[in-house]
Structure 1
Amino acid sequence: MKIGILFISFFIQITAAPRPYFLLIFPKVIPADGATKTCIHLSYLNESLSLTLTLQTKKNTIKLLQEFVVDTDWHRCISLQDTIQNIDIAEEANLNLTGGSDSYRFEKIKKIYLEKKKKNGTFIQTDKPVYKPGQTVKFRTVTLNEHFIPDLSQIPLVIIQDPQKNRISQWLNVTTQHGIGDFSFPLANEPLQGEYTIQIHKAGSLTYHSFTVEEYVLPKHEVQLKLPRAISVMDKEFTVTMCARYTYGKPVLGTAVFRICRKSQYFWQKVNSHEMTNDYCKEFNGTTDISGCVSKVIYTNYFHLRTPVFTMEFIVEAKLIEKDTDQELTASGKISISTQISKVTFEDVQDNYKTGIPFTGKVCVEGADGSPLSGVNVIIQSRQDLSEILSTNERGQAYFSLNTSAWNNQVISLSAYQEGVPRNRQTLFGKIEPYSEAASLTVSPQFSKSKSFLRIQSSMTSIVQCDKDFEIHVDYIFNRKALEGSPGNMVFLYLVMEGRRIVLDGQKQSNIGPSGSLKGTLSITVSLGADAAPKAKVLVYVILPNGELIADNREFTVSKCFRNKVKLQFMEPEVSPATETSLHLNAAAGSLCALRVVDKSVLLLKPEQELSIDKVYSTAKQEVADVYALQKEPPICRPPNPQAVANRTYTQIPPSVSNEMDVYRIIWDMGLDVSTDTSMRKPIFCSLKFTDTVSEMYDIPYMWNSHAFPEAAAVRVMKQQANADRLIGLRHQTG
C-alpha cells in the first residue's frame, strides 16, 4: 500500500499599513478679532504621539494646543478668538506645529498674516428723510462688527453740517445704551434749506448720512408705472401698467392716458420716407379697475423696431385723472429696445474637471428683459465634433452632464448657444438683425497622481435657506492602488468658510476601502446660519493611504438672516383716524429694541434711504482678503538625475510660483493655507543653467516625478538636453 503525501502551500499577500500623515489647515489672513479656527488632522497613526501648536510673533509665543494623541485618526479645530485678542497685533506671525512618537516626527513653521485692526460698520438712521423748518431731527447710530454684535464703546465725535458745510452742532464722547446712540437736534424756524449731513467719527473711520430740510407737502397718492426693463426687436407686443393708491391703501379710480414714443436719431425729410417722421408716438387710454390699476398691451409693428434711424428705446409718459376731483397723477419711464433677443449663461459650474466624474452644471437662457425663456433649444458644444441639444424648463434652465473620460487631461473649451439664432450683432440692408449672446467656458483638468478625485455637487436651489438643514453631496472616485493598506473606513473632513473665517467644521466616515466601492456619492448634512451668510465656501478633503491629499471646494449662496429674530406688527390691520392702536413686538429675552413710527407718506419722498437687511450686510460684512496679493509657496524641485548632469557644471534656478489646478490651489483659492507632509501639488518643469568654458548659459528644463506627465513631455526634455550637450560640444571643438 502506497501512501502519498500532499503538500498544500498558502500564499498570503500582506499589505503594509500606510505611514502616518499630518495636516494643518488655517486662514492665510487671520481677522483682528481672531474669530476663526485652525484645524489639525492626523491620519493612520500606529502609535501614540505628542502634539504641540504654538503661535509666535515678535513679542509673544502662545501655546494653542498641547495634546497626547492615541487615536488612529484624530481631528481638532482650535478657535483663535481668545488668543488673538490677548496679544499685540502684528502684521506677520508664525504657526509652529510639532509632533513626535518613537517612529514618526515632524516640525513645520508657516507664516500667517494678522489684520492690524478690527473692521466695523456704522449705521445712521433718521426718523424720516425730509424735515420742515422748525421740526426736530431725531437719529440713532449703532456700530456692528462682522458678527452683527454692537460696539459698546463711546462715540468720540458726532457732527451735523448744513448745506454750506458749516458745523452747526456736535457731540463729544457719547456713551451708548448697549451700543445704540440716540440723538436729537431742533431745526431753526428759518434754516438753510437743502441737504444736511450727519458725520460719525468712530474706530478710525468716518460715516455719513444725509437728510433734507425743505417746505414740502406730503403726497396723498402712491403711483407706480410698471414697464418691462427691455424688449427685443423680435417682440410683437409688450404690456405697460399704471397703478395708483392713496397712501392709506385705498385704490384710486379714474382714467389713464399713456403716450409712448420712439424718437428719431436724425431729422428725416418726408421725401426720404412717408413713414419716417421726426418721432413715432402713439396714445392709449384706459380706466382703472377696482385695484386702482390699468394695463394696456402695446403692439410693436407700428414702431419699426428693426429700423436703425430711431433711438433704441421707448419713452413712456402716463397720466391718471382721478375720478370726481379731476386731479392729475403722472409717472414716466423708459424701455430699452435690444437687438439681443436672448442671453445664454453657464451657472453652477467649476473651472476644473475631474477625470472619471461627469462635469455637470446648467445653462440659463433669459430674454431681453431678463426674464427666463422656456422651451428654448440650447446647443452645448465641448469639441468641434461633440455637441448636445437641451431644452430649457419653465425657469429658463437646462441641466447638463458631460462625460469627462475622453477629455484626456486636456484643457476643454465649452460653448452654449441658442439653436437657430445668429451669435453676432449685425445690420443687413439697413435693418437690425437679432442675435443671441452665447456662453463660453474653459475648464482645466484637476491633477491627482493616483487619479482619485472629489467633486462637490451644486445645490438644486439657487439659495440655501439660513438656519435650515442642508445636504452637501460629494461625488468620489478612488484608485484602488491608492487605497492599499486602508483600514476600511475613509474619513471625509469638511470646512465651511464665510469671508476669511472658518465658521464650521466636521467629519464623516464612510466604509470605503480596497474591497469596497471605488466610486459613489457621500452626503454631509450641515446647518448654515447667519455666520455663513451670504456666501458659504465649502471644502471637503480626504487623506488617502498613499499619502495623497484630495479635495474640492464650492461656493453656496445663503439667504441673509440674523441670529436674533424679531417680529413687529400692528394689532389691528386698519383703524380710523385719531384713534389709538397697539404694536406687538416679539424678540429674544434681554434684547434692546429701537422702534420708529412714521407716516408712510414721508417715506415716499426718499424711499432709498430706508435701512434694510441688504444694507446691514453690505456694511457690516467685510470684503474677503485678496489671497492673490499674498505670496504662494513655490513647489519643491528635486535634484536632477545624477547621470543626466554627470561632469557638468550647472546652477539650479528656484522654481517660479505655480498656478496649476491641483489641491494646493483649490485650498489657496478659499483663502486657506496648509502645512503638511501629504502630496497635493502637481509636478512642474524646473530649470538648470549649464555653464560652459566661455560662460554661456543654456536653460535645460527637467522635472521630477516624470511618470506623472505624458511620455511626450519626457521625450521633449531629453531632446532639449541633447541639443544643449551638442551645442556645448561644438563650443569646445571650436575653442
Structure 2
Amino acid sequence: MAPLFKINPYTLEDSFTFKATVAEEGTGITMVDSKYIDLDYKLGKLTFIDTPNIIEEGAVLNGKIKFTRYDGAAIALRTVYLFKGPERSAEFLQTLTTDSDGVAKFSLSTATISGDFQIIASALNKVWPLLFIFTFFTTPRYESAFKDISRLRPAAADNPTSSSLVISPVSDPLPCDTETPIPIKYTFTGETFSTPSLDIMFMVFAKGEIVQHGVMKAPVNSGQVVIKGKESLKLSVRPEMTPTVQVMVYCILPSRTILSESREFSTEQCFKNKVSVQFSFPTAVPGERGSLQLSAQPVEILPEL
C-alpha cells in the first residue's frame, strides 16, 4: 500500500519529547514526567584566543585559534582555514594545523589590508555558501569563528594615543564632615579587554598613614578604540586627616601597563570635639550688657576670655 502522505525532513523540529509514566503496584498511584531535548548538529567549534582586537595600520597580526569538540576536548592535528571576511566575499589567507592542545598559531601581515577588517576561522576550505547551508540544514558541522579587527586611529584632539588617569582638582580646602566627590577621569587607548569593567584602585594618605582605600569599577567596551569615562571618589574629611590629604589612584591595563596619578588637597581645621558659641541676643547697642555662652564636651579646656 502506498503511503498516504510524504514527510519533508526539513519541516520537522530538531527535538525529541520523552514522556514516562510510573504506576505503583497495589495502590495504582501514578507519576508522569516528560523531558524536552533539542538536537544539536554542532560537532565542535573554533575560537580565536590571544588575538588582539586593535592593531596599528600595517602591523603584523599574531593570534591563535582553538579547535574543540562539543564536550570541550581539544582536537589535535586538524586543518584550519583562515579567511578575511566578510562571509559572503571571504578571501582565503592561510592553511593552519592544530597542535596537540588543539591550538593553531598564525601570523598575518596586514600591510595590504587597509582599515578595519574581519577574520574567519573555519574547518571548511570554502566559507560561502557552505557555512550558510550547514547552519540552516541538519548537517553535522564545526562552528566557525569570526573576529573583528580594528585599527589604532591616528592622533587627534578628541582621539588620544595614550592611556591616562587624571585626578581632577576641586575647590579646597575640603570641608570637615562632608562627603566631597573627587572626579577621576580615565582614558584607555589600544587595549583589549576581556571583562566588562576595569578595577581602579585608590588610597588616601594623611600624616603618612592610609586612612581610606577601595576599588572603583570603570566600565569598558572592548569594541572601542578609545575608551573615556569618569568615576568619583567620595572623600569625607575627619579630624585626624587635617591639614592635608593625598589621593592616589592606579590601575593595571590588559597590556600590563600601570597607570597612576596622585594629588594633594588641603582641608579645613577639623576638631574632634565640637565647641559652640552663642550670644544672649543677636544684636545690641553700644554699652548694652550681654552674655556669651561657650559649650563643649566634658573635660575639654576652654580658652580664657
TM range (shorter): 0.3 to 0.5
- Return the structure number with greater relative CO, CA threshold 8 A, min gap 6: 2
TM-score normalised according to structure 2 size: 0.43
Higher helix share: 1
